[in-house]
């Protein structure tokens, strides 16, 4: 049995309407999937203490490298979870780089920041 590799643009085709509002198109996802780009996700978490406001410093900070498919999963979930979105110019274009969400009780705040870097081409 032969395994076929599906392009990310085809896999997330049903979310085209949502993603087009965010300037993320199938071609953008396919370009991010190449070896030319590196996506780093930084997740910061705050919890509401005894005060009425979140502290300035987050309680936890996690950094990891993700794939273009995982980036597409985060972006396609924005409509369902109603995250606050910040867009910025990156090497891949004007796309979302920060998602901020709260839990239903407004006690936990999670901020996900995507850093997209362009890898230099290998020179032989």
Q: What is the pTM of this model?
A: 0.83
- For residue range 19-78, list pLDDT tens digits in order: 888 888 888 888 888 778 899 999 999 988 777 788 888 999 999 999 888 988 898 888
pLDDT of residue 110: 93
Residues 6 or more apart whose CB falls under 8 angstroms from that of 2 comprise: none
**Which ranges in the chain belong to alpha helices (H)?**
8-11, 16-21, 26-32, 68-76, 78-81
pLDDT of residue 3: 57
- For residue range 71-107, list pLDDT tens digits in order: 888 988 888 888 899 999 988 889 899 999 988 888 8
Domain spans, the chain: 8-118
């Amino acid at each position: 049995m032969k395994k076929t590799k599906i392009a990310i643009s085809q896999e997330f085709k049903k979310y085209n309407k949502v993603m087009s509002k965010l300037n993320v198109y199938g071609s953008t996802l396919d370009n991010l999937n190449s070896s030319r780009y590196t996506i780093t996700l930084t997740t910061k978490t705050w919890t509401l203490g005894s005060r009425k406001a979140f502290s300035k410093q987050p309680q936890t900070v996690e950094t990891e490298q993700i794939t273009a498919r995982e980036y597409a999963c985060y972006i396609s979930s924005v409509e369902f979870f109603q995250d606050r979105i910040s867009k910025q110019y990156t090497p891949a274009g004007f796309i979302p780089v920060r998602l901020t969400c709260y839990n239903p009780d407004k006690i936990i705040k999670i901020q996900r920041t995507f850093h997209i870097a362009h890898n230099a081409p290998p020179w032989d």
